[in-house]
């Protein structure tokens, strides 16, 4: 995850889940506790919390320190409402994100370190990447068409690794790309990822998951048989946005 400014990143406004209306309230998972409130200086699962750096539809991400290894990590904790337990669906999606990343080993993908639970709360840790998101980078930098192509080709390298391992990201957008040290793009946030070889039918036909502006038509329709071509479409939208400064 990323370190860019004093303001945390709000991804909840970017990603939508428009499921079919009229569904029953989801059942709470008996084995999942409510999300803890973590302040700077507090401790969670042996990690020292430094500050909150991002939050979205699936979880909250903190900058933390591993005192044993003396390194900073991005600690992601499953997101629930105040005093509420995570539902089975939330837990499944959260663990699927960690499992998706764990399958991948590539310089363009932020790696996962640990997946675990602490006081019945699910969490996982990732490498902490210094640098702005591509979204923040584009706001502060004018880029040429050649630079835009360079960035997209680098992202495509990471996506190729994911696709070859049967993982579809489903939410490629500037906010989910970190520019390591302001230069090298890395893919993060696999919260909506789909593992093709054993998809668990968490996303039902007719529901839409993702960020509308970057979605392929198939993803916008809520097609259940989505594959890697949807990520390529999103990458094309990203390239168009960088070159034209329009979306």
Q: In angstroms, rounded to a whole number, what is the distance separating the alpha carbons of residues 173 and 211?
A: 8
| C-beta separation of 239 from 246 below 8 A | no
- For residue 160, the surrounding DSSP H or E stretch is helix 145-164
SS3 16: strand
Which of the residues 17, 39, 171, 223 is marked catalytic? 171
161 and 106 Cβ atoms separated by less than 8 Å = yes
- Rounded to 5 degrees, what angle do the CA atoms 224, 96, 60 make? 115
Q: Is there a catalytic annotation at residue 171?
A: yes
Q: What is the DSSP string of 27-73?
A: PBPTT-PPPP---TT-EETTEEEEEEEEE-SSEEEEEEEETTTTEEE
Which tokens go with 150?
């360079």
* Cα angle value 52/168/94 (rounded, 5°): 40
Residue 202 near residue 13 (C-beta atoms within 8 A): no
Instruction: Just list the catalytic residues.
Output: 171
């Amino acid at each position: 995850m990323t370190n860019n400014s004093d303001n945390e990143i709000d991804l909840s406004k970017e990603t939508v889940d428009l499921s079919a209306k009229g569904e029953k309230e989801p059942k709470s998972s008996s084995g999942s506790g409510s999300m803890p409130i973590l302040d700077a200086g507090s401790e969670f699962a042996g990690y020292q919390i430094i500050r909150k750096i991002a939050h979205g539809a699936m979880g909250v991400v903190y900058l933390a320190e591993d005192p044993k290894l003396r390194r900073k990590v991005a600690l992601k904790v499953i997101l629930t409402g105040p005093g509420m337990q995570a539902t089975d669906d939330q837990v499944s999606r959260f663990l699927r994100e960690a499992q998706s990343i764990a399958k991948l080993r590539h310089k363009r993908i932020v790696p996962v370190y640990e997946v675990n639970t602490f006081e019945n709360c699910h969490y996982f840790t990732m490498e902490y990447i210094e640098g702005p998101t591509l979204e923040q980078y584009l706001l502060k930098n004018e880029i040429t068409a050649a630079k835009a192509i360079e960035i997209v080709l680098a992202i495509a390298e990471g996506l190729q690794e994911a696709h070859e391992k049967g993982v579809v990201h489903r939410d490629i957008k500037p906010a989910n790309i970190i520019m390591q040290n302001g230069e090298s793009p890395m893919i993060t946030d696999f919260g909506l990822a789909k593992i093709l070889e054993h998809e668990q039918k968490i996303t039902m036909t007719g529901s839409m998951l993702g960020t509308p502006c970057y979605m392929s038509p198939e993803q916008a329709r809520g097609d259940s048989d989505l594959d890697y071509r949807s990520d390529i479409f999103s990458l094309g939208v990203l390239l168009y946005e960088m070159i034209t400064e329009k979306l």
